[in-house]
Structure formats: C-alpha cells, structure tokens
Amino acid sequence: MAVTLCLAPSADEPREIVSYLLAEHQTVVAVPARHLVDRVGNLDEGSAPAVWLDVATSRARPVHVRFDLLVPGASGPARGRFLGRVRWQGDDADVYGTYLGPVSAEN
C-alpha cells in the first residue's frame, strides 16, 4: 500500500508488522512515526476491523494518529488519508487515517 501518515521508514531500517484494532468510529493510537500502512481489513470473518502498519523498530518516536470508520462515500477528515474499506457491524466502512502530532512527554 505504501501510504504513511507521518514518515516512511528508510529501506535499510529493521521493521515489523504491528496491528491495531478499530473498535469505535474513531480510534486514536500512538504509533511509531516511521511507518507504512501495510493493509486494512478484518482479523477474521465477523470480527473487528484492524489496520496493519509496517513500522521501523528503532529510532522512531511515537506519534498520535486517528483512524476513522465512515460510511462509504462520506467526506473524510480534512487531513485524512483514505486507507481502504472494511466490514464493520455488518456494513461496509471506509477507513481514514489522520496524523495528529507527536506524543507528548507529559502523557
């Protein structure tokens, strides 16, 4: 898919695939800044949707991103990136990802 919400990892960086469940209309998570969206989908038939990120395992600081599940065809967030379509609560939903900013050291 080769979409990033912040920075793409360098080709020589060690990386791994990490999944995040999307259980609500909006899910905010801290992810490594250096990542690529690998795919979106459901873990298995009838389960919660998820997004899989190919993340750099070293020097990447955490950033907050928000994933939105929207009715297909609805306008996505102003700065959001369309990531794909999933099944959610028996219907199709479009998945958008939005970079929100660095994770604060105070959190």
The alpha carbon dihedral of 76, 79, 82, 86 has a sign of negative
pTM for this predicted structure:
0.90
Determine the Cα–Cα distance for residues 58 and 67; give it in Å rounded to an integer: 24
Q: pLDDT tens, 79-103?
A: 999 999 999 988 999 999 999 999 9
Q: pLDDT tens, 18-57?
A: 999 998 999 999 999 999 999 999 987 778 899 999 999 8
User: DSSP of 10-48, one letter per residue?
Assistant: PTTS-EEEEEEE--SSEEEEEEESBEEEEEEEESSTTS-
Determine the Cα–Cα distance for residues 60 and 44; give it in Å rounded to an integer: 30
For the chain, how many structural domains are there in total? 1
User: Is the pLDDT confidence value at 105 over 90?
Assistant: no
Does a structural domain hold residue 4? no
28: containing domain: 15-102
Determine the Cα–Cα distance for residues 29 and 100; give it in Å rounded to an integer: 10
Does a structural domain hold residue 107? no
Does a structural domain hold residue 3? no
